[in-house]
A and B are shown apart, each in its own frame.
Chain A
């Protein structure tokens, strides 16, 4: 099993709250990614990073932001959560080849 962690695993919050989803990996990978996945649907890339102080928006428009101050840490923040943000959020890292290592995911529900 890959050493990539996400917290919390489940989160239920009210509309308008600010939240941060945590992602950490202990493998020293430079490349990290955030995906959004709805049930039975494909993963959509929302943010990625190629290393410290490098962040880019992905293919899916997202109201979230990310930061990469340390190699091992890639948190995702929603400034004001809305019901449309309800989804599963998956973090992944890549050692430089094609293979991606995924965390267990955070299931977010916004009421």
Chain B
């Protein structure tokens, strides 16, 4: 079955730097891949969706890449701010309007 691998170690970066998070998957390439933000005790919030025929997607300070050959997506936050501190989840289309989620990577941005 499809598995999602996200770095379980927290990422600590300095304010103003670019944060880069990685999402790897193991089996079939999904029709689309998504990134969500989750704050402690809250539900995830949708950030970006990228389709299999797209290489890159941008939204404000966020950028997502999707490499179906490597079975990998990279999620970048440029000019990071302390308010960007959260857990970021990678999610894959799993057929029939279902989605599977990774466990997420915790990001800490220090002022």
Contacts and interface: CB of A to CB of B under 8 A. Distances in A.
A81 interface: no
A64 interface: no
B21 interface: no
Contacts of A99: 34, 46, 49
Given A48-B98, A99-B34, A42 B104 contact: yes
A43 B101 contact: yes
A80 to B, nearest CB: 26
A42 B41 contact: no
A42 B4 contact: yes
Nearest to A103: B43
Contact of B102 (A42, A48, A90, A104): A42
Contact of B45 (A40, A48, A102): A102
A28 interface: no
Contacts of B8: 40
A41 interface: yes
A52 to B, nearest CB: 16
Nearest to B50: A98
Interface size class of B (residues with CB under 8 A): 20 to 34
A41 B103 contact: yes
B32 A104 contact: no
A100 B102 contact: no
Nearest to B48: A99
A29 B101 CA distance: 21
B82 interface: no
10 contacts: A35-B101, A40-B8, A42-B101, A42-B103, A42-B104, A43-B101, A90-B43, A100-B99, A102-B43, A102-B44
Interface of A: 31, 33, 35, 40-43, 45, 48, 50, 58-59, 88, 90, 92, 94, 96-105, 107
Interface of B: 4, 8, 32, 34, 41-46, 49, 89, 93, 97-104
